[in-house]
Amino acid sequence: MNIILLGPPGAGKGTQAHRLEQQRGMVQLSTGDMLRHAVAAGTPIGLKAKAVMAAGELVSDAIVSALIGERLDTSVDKGAIFDGFPRTQHQAEALDLLLADRARKLDHVIELDVNEEALVDRITGRFSCANCGAGYHDRFKLPRVENTCDVCSAHEFHRRPDDNEQTVRTRMAEYRAKTAPILPYYRERGLVRAVEGMASVDEVARQIDAILDGAPALPF
């Protein structure tokens, strides 16, 4: 099964993708994570992407589509979760070709329906464990013991440089202008299912599981 998680920054795509990896053995394909690794490693792609990402703008379609193509050639037998890709119409078309070339298809596009203003609060307070990646938040989810990861007890934490308010607003604007308009492309094919992205992590998980396990679509 191959699915796209679609929603603005901070909608919870990464959180749900991690859970699906753990519970279903699917593989998260996050172009944001791939680009951050490229930046950290100082590869030619990373050097190109660094300033674009810091500004909250979109990296070129050719670069991200190539990254996804490479990852699709590695083991994704139990299915791929596209997280943060596609973000433009060109990328959506590129993904169709990449999947068709590998005799794969898209099963669902899951739209995380969210309130943008609340997302700015969600994103600007978030941080994660530098060792295991567990997610925290200044107001909603501090570690149980100060400065100590609940999961692995590490003491180093990390904040994304693009999680500041100004960049977040640009990222939202990019989503509205370039990514939300690809929804009709998938709606026409009957692939889009919406979930209530402002609900608790567990409730969003429940709604996604119902879709993946074949619950019929509600009329809307």
Interface ranges with ligand AMP (CB under 6 A): 9, 31-32, 35, 52-53, 56-59, 64, 84-85, 87, 91, 162, 171
| Shortest Cβ 144–ligand AMP spacing (Å) | 27
Judged by CB, which is closer to ligand AMP: 47, or 206?
A: 47
- Three-state secondary structure of the chain: CCEEEECCCCCCHHHHHHHHHHHHCCEEEEHHHHHHHHHHHCCHHHHHHHHHHHHCCCCCHHHHHHHHHHHHCCCCCCCEEEECCCCCHHHHHHHHHHHHHCCCCCCEEEEEECCHHHHHHHHHCEEEECCCCCEEECCCECCCECCECCCCCCCCEECCCCCCHHHHHHHHHHHHHHHHHHHHHHHCCCCEEEEECCCCHHHHHHHHHHHHCCCCCCCC
Rounded Cα gap, residues 26 and 76, in angstroms = 7
| Shortest Cβ 62–ligand AMP spacing (Å) | 10
| Shortest Cβ 138–ligand AMP spacing (Å) | 19
The reply to whether 206 belongs to the active site is: no
Judged by CB, which is closer to ligand AMP: 82, or 204?
A: 82
The catalytic position among 19, 87, 122, 193 is 87
The reply to whether 126 belongs to the active site is: yes
Judged by CB, which is closer to ligand AMP: 59, or 112?
A: 59
The reply to whether 171 belongs to the active site is: yes
The catalytic position among 36, 50, 71, 126 is 126
The reply to whether 139 belongs to the active site is: no
Rounded Cα gap, residues 113 and 212, in angstroms = 17
The reply to whether 87 belongs to the active site is: yes
| Shortest Cβ 159–ligand AMP spacing (Å) | 13
| Shortest Cβ 192–ligand AMP spacing (Å) | 18
> Per the omega criterion (within 30 degrees of 0), is the bond before 86 cis?
yes
The catalytic position among 13, 36, 50, 193 is 13
Judged by CB, which is closer to ligand AMP: 32, or 197?
A: 32
Within 10 A of 156 (CB to CB), how many other CB atoms are there?
Answer: 9
Give the residue closest to ligand AMP by C-beta. 32
Judged by CB, which is closer to ligand AMP: 83, or 195?
A: 83
Catalytic residues: 13, 87, 126, 160, 171
